[in-house]
Amino acid sequence: MAMNASPRFVLRMGPDQRPILGAWWPRSRVLGSELADLFASWPTEAGRIVRVLYSPPDWDDRPRSAPVAGRRIKTGCFPQDDTHRLVLTMLDGRRIPIGVIPSATAQARAAVLLDDAAGPAAPAAPSAGGGEESFAVWDNEGGPSPRSEPGRGHPPTHRPDLPLPGDQ
For residue range 6-21, what is the model confidence (pLDDT) as tens digits? 589 999 888 877 788 8
The answer to whether residue 159 sits within a structural domain is no
The answer to whether residue 153 sits within a structural domain is no
The answer to whether residue 52 sits within a structural domain is yes
**pLDDT of amino acid 20:** 80
* 63 alpha-carbon distance from chain centroid: 16
The answer to whether residue 139 sits within a structural domain is no
The answer to whether residue 103 sits within a structural domain is yes
**pLDDT of amino acid 85:** 92
Greater model confidence, 120 or 45: 45
Cα separation of 16 and 21, whole Å? 13
Number of domains the chain is built from: 1
Residue 162 has pLDDT above 70, yes or no: no
Residue 145 has pLDDT above 60, yes or no: no
Q: What percent of the chain has pLDDT over 90?
A: 49
Domain that holds residue 92: 2-132
The answer to whether residue 166 sits within a structural domain is no
Catalogue the long-range contacts made by 32-39 (C-beta closer than 8 Å, 24 or more residues apart): 32/61, 32/63, 32/66, 32/67, 33/66, 35/66, 35/68, 35/73, 35/75, 36/66, 36/67, 36/68, 36/69, 37/6, 37/8, 38/9, 38/68, 38/86, 38/98, 39/68, 39/69, 39/73
Cα separation of 9 and 22, whole Å? 7
**pLDDT of amino acid 26:** 96
The answer to whether residue 38 sits within a structural domain is yes
The answer to whether residue 163 sits within a structural domain is no
Q: Tens digits of per-residue pLDDT, 32-71?
A: 999 999 999 999 888 999 999 999 999 999 999 999 989 9
Greater model confidence, 161 or 64: 64
